[in-house]
Amino acid sequence: MALRRLRKFARQGAADQLDMDDTIRSTARNAGYLDLKMVPERHNAVKVLIFFDVGGSMDPHVKVCEELFSAARLEFKHMEYFYFHNFIYESVWKNNIRRMNETLSTWDILHKYTPDYKVIFVGDATMAPYEITHPGGSIEHWNEEAGATWFQRVSEHFRKVVWLNPLPESYWGSGGSLGITKQLVNNHMYPLTIEGLESAMKHLSK
């Protein structure tokens, strides 16, 4: 799986796995008396935040997003996920059923998670450009500040940010909301394909 490119293993927690090589060496040094050596389990130490665009034009891409989510949960021990609609503003959510009542402040996320978290946005970035560029651009609520302002705060806080797009790259073009989003993410937008994931993970792992 392409996500494995973004891998930085570390041993954490209790020593509950047999270290065969060290056990053999230690047993040999002790004249054949068995000396078991244990180590903590290896976990992927990379920390990841994933933001999923949901609803509207993203409905046809639910299956591929679910597959990405499932693969990421298996690969990354330190992973948090959030949802947004069309673009990120002052709040996101984790429960789509209660999204209007249980939102999370984007400011709180910026304060809680350290800059070494790798950030992945997943969305088609197809909307009216004003939804990104203007206060009040959100189609669901009044946003005091433009989505572009919030995205810049995210990209300034976290060292590595990419955008995965489920639309074929041939559809992207260079204008409209998709072009604006590509600029905001410093052209680190990649198609949600195996090749695109490889390129995105390569950038995040640098």
Same domain, 27 and 92: no
Same domain, 91 and 107: yes
Number of domain units in the chain: 2
Same domain, 117 and 195: yes
Listed in sequence order, the residues at least 6 apart from 9 whose beta carbon sits closer than 8 Å to its beta carbon are 42, 43, 44, 45
Per-residue pLDDT of the chain (206 residues; tens, 9 = 90+): 556 655 554 445 555 555 677 657 776 777 666 766 665 555 567 899 999 999 999 999 999 999 889 888 888 888 999 999 999 999 999 987 767 678 999 999 999 999 999 999 999 999 999 999 999 999 999 999 999 999 999 999 999 999 999 999 999 988 999 999 999 999 999 999 888 998 998 899 88
Same domain, 33 and 133: no
Query: Residue 11 belongs to what H/E stretch?
Result: strand 9-18
Same domain, 96 and 58: yes
Same domain, 156 and 59: yes
Which residue segment(s) compose the domain that 26 sits in?
9-42
Q: What is the side-by-side strand order in the sheet with 189-191?
A: 103-105, 91-93, 78-84, 47-53, 118-122, 160-165, 189-191
Same domain, 52 and 37: no
Same domain, 13 and 83: no
93 three-class SS: strand
What distances in angstroms separate CA 174 from CA 147, 170, 204, one per listed residue? 19, 10, 23
pLDDT at 11: 45
Same domain, 18 and 114: no
* CATH code, domain with 188: 3.40.50
Same domain, 199 and 107: yes
Same domain, 103 and 124: yes
Chain-centroid distance of CA 175 in Å reads 25
Phi, psi of 21 (to 5 degrees): -60, -45
Chain position carrying tokens 């041939």: 170
